[in-house]
Amino acid sequence: MKMKKLAAVALAVVMSVSMLAGCGSSNDKKSAESSTSANGTATVKTAKDGVLTMATNATFPPYESYEGNDIVGIDADIAKAIADKLGLKLEIQDMEFNSIITAVQSGKADLGLAGMTVTDERKQSVDFTDSYATGIQSVIVKEGSSIKSIDDLKGKKIGVQLATTGDIYAKDDFGEENVEEYNKGADAVMALTSGKIDAVIIDNQPAKAFVKTTDGLQILDTDYVQEDYAAAIQKGNTDLLNAVNGALKELKEDGTIQKILDKYIK
Ligand code: ARG
């Protein structure tokens, strides 16, 4: 009888401890690592307890750009939806585009989400989640430009955002000496407007956003390269990869991803 009672007390203690852990505060390390969040989703270990840290480069509308002090766009909304599913708070870190992979590799950020194209080269450094969107590299020129097709770019000065796939393809196809690298796509577009360069190669949605807000530019009617966008995750972090892929799957199935895309791409 005595033994039984003791066991019951012990069980009650264990239960209340685990219940506490279950709805534990976000700064309790153990609970963040091994408990379940309020909505029942198993939580994963992240760079900062209770927080999903997203590394991005907010120069890339409609995927990520500033609205006042806030970073808004498709990637910000998708990351927020993923964080909600995982019972985590979202924190966005803005950095240079070519620092994102390093931030993810070093574990400073959990997720690189930046309209980032899945490439074999990047796969050597990070893992990619399932794709959530597609992109196309397009070419912006001045209205009335003699450049009418990809072939016309030969020997012309091409502006790109540093370390993007546009940069890589342009150098491969037209020679390094013909490619001008800028920190931001918008800087390349400014250089095009002022006549410093002849064309800009950049993803189609930002291209549309830039052309809309700048006079005298047009996008060539050609699809240079088709791409898949995905989130980058630290290599070998399969717990986080699986958790994010699980969240993405649900968000695709319940129409959330499409809703977010439609909100920004009209
Ligand atoms: N899709 C291109 C790439 O992955 C460009 C992405 C640029 N993204 C940004 N947030 N600036 O290289």
Nearest-atom number in ligand 1 for the CA of 167 is 12
Mean local confidence (pLDDT), 238-249: 98
CATH topology of domain 134-225: D-Maltodextrin-Binding Protein; domain 2 (3.40.190)
Does this chain's domain 49-131+229-262 share its CATH topology with 134-225? yes
CA distance 122 to 128: 9
Q: What is the pLDDT of residue 33?
A: 39
CA distance 22 to 34: 9
If we measure between CA atoms, which residue out of 52, 56, 54, 128 comes closest to residue 98?
56
Local confidence band at 43 (pLDDT 50, 70, 90 cut-offs): confident
Q: Which residues line ligand 1 (CB under 6 A)?
A: 56-57, 59-60, 63-64, 97, 114-117, 135, 161, 164-165, 203, 227
So where are the chain's domains?
Answer: 49-131+229-262, 134-225
Local confidence band at 143 (pLDDT 50, 70, 90 cut-offs): very high
Percentage of the chain beyond pLDDT 90 is: 82
Q: How far is the CA of 102 from the centre of ligand 1 (A)?
A: 15
Q: What are the tens digits of pLDDT across the range 52-97?
A: 999 999 999 999 999 999 999 999 999 999 999 999 999 999 999 9
Q: Is the pLDDT of residue 112 over 70?
A: yes
Residues contacting 31, CB < 8 A, separation 6+: 20, 21, 22, 24, 25
pTM confidence score: 0.85
CA distance 231 to 14: 38
Distances (CA, A) of 2 to 9, 11, 30: 11, 14, 33
Q: What is the pLDDT of residue 42?
A: 57
Nearest-atom number in ligand 1 for the CA of 116 is 4
Nearest-atom number in ligand 1 for the CA of 135 is 1
Ligand 1 pocket: which of 97, 126, 228 to mutate (most atoms within 8 A of CB): 97
Q: How far is the CA of 2 from the centre of ligand 1 (A)?
A: 67
Q: How far is the CA of 44 from the centre of ligand 1 (A)?
A: 27
* Residue 59 DSSP code: -
If we measure between CA atoms, which residue out of 118, 121, 119 comes closest to residue 131?
118
CATH topology of domain 49-131+229-262: D-Maltodextrin-Binding Protein; domain 2 (3.40.190)
If we measure between CA atoms, which residue out of 53, 245, 47 comes closest to residue 130?
245
Query: Which residue do the tokens 């993810």 mark?
Result: 104
Q: What is the pLDDT of residue 41?
A: 54
